[in-house]
Copies of this chain bind each other. A is one copy, B any other.
Amino acid sequence: MTEASQIDRRSGVPLYLQIKQILATEIEAEGAGAGAMTEQTLTERFHVSRATVRQALHELVQDGLVYRERSKGTFPVQRMDFERPATLQVGGLVGYLADLGMNPSSEVSDVHRAVPPREVADGLGLEAEETVLIFTRRIFANGQPLSLARVYLRSPSDFLPTPTELESAGSAIELLERAHGVRVARSEHRVWASAASAQEASALAIAEGDPVLVLETVMRTREGRPVIWRRLADHADTIKHTFISDI
């Protein structure tokens, strides 16, 4: 199997992507057993230029699969069981819970357009009087409410989907992309603990003052234009957000 993996120059798939994929698969299979890969051995193996190999290796570094050491070589990063990024896959919570067999469901309510609170308008950089799509979403697992989201979505003033459309879309982002071709490229998150307000407690079936996790997120297009402001209140001890940072 090791020598079967070669690139196909007629496939139209960029060579560096094919090489990256092959190496990623080998690292996955052989674990840290896969020895050092040098640029020279790879250029010979795949019959490509050094720059092409370097582009593949550079992306593997970005993805955290290998690390490179000057005058030593390129080595696989020690195996770390690939967890699902859980809830940070924005809007992916339902699918994540489904994978866990938690029988998730989603309930969207209070869909309307209005001028948002000051804090949200600032975060989205709105013009005065500019309206946004506003809705509330609760996510349940096995019948228990786990997460309460309030979403403010910058969109054309005639954009007013039904609750059913929002529920079936899985996430507001997907709907926004399908409806207007707007792609979210970057998100900023702030997270802290708080005591549940009366409203939050009611929505999450807990007592007022019980702990909740608050997660505020601003999502932006690649142009840097903020398009979604979202505030989550999550059930304590149950919803755990995971993320990775360099350094």
Task: List chain A positions with a Cβ less than 8 A from chain B.
Answer: 32, 51, 62, 64, 67, 75-80, 83, 88-90, 184-195, 210-213, 220, 222-226, 234, 236-247
**Residue pair A241, B186 in contact (C-beta under 8 Å):** no
Docked complex Cα distance between A149 and B194 (Å): 19
**Residue pair A193, B211 in contact (C-beta under 8 Å):** yes
Q: A79: which B residues are within 8 A, CB to CB?
A: 224
A193 touching B222 in the complex, CB below 8 Å, given contacts A244-B188, A245-B88: no
Docked complex Cα distance between A216 and B77 (Å): 21
**Residue pair B189, A77 in contact (C-beta under 8 Å):** no
Docked complex Cα distance between A165 and B163 (Å): 58
Docked complex Cα distance between A191 and B77 (Å): 24
Of B188, B212, B246, which one neighbours A211 at CB under 8 angstroms? Answer: B212
**Residue pair B192, A236 in contact (C-beta under 8 Å):** yes
Q: A210: which B residues are within 8 A, CB to CB?
A: 195, 211
Interface centre among A191, A193, A222, A244 (most CB of B within 10 A): A193
CB distance from A140 to the nearest CB of B (A): 18
**Residue pair B246, A190 in contact (C-beta under 8 Å):** no
Q: A243: which B residues are within 8 A, CB to CB?
A: 188-189, 191, 243, 245
Of B62, B89, B193, which one neighbours A236 at CB under 8 angstroms? Answer: B193
A211 touching B194 in the complex, CB below 8 Å, given contacts A75-B223, A89-B247, A247-B90: yes
**Residue pair A193, B220 in contact (C-beta under 8 Å):** no
Docked complex Cα distance between A85 and B78 (Å): 27
**Residue pair A193, B78 in contact (C-beta under 8 Å):** no
A244 touching B186 in the complex, CB below 8 Å, given contacts A220-B80, A223-B77: yes
CB distance from A188 to the nearest CB of B (A): 5
Q: A191: which B residues are within 8 A, CB to CB?
A: 191, 213, 240-243
**Residue pair A77, B224 in contact (C-beta under 8 Å):** yes
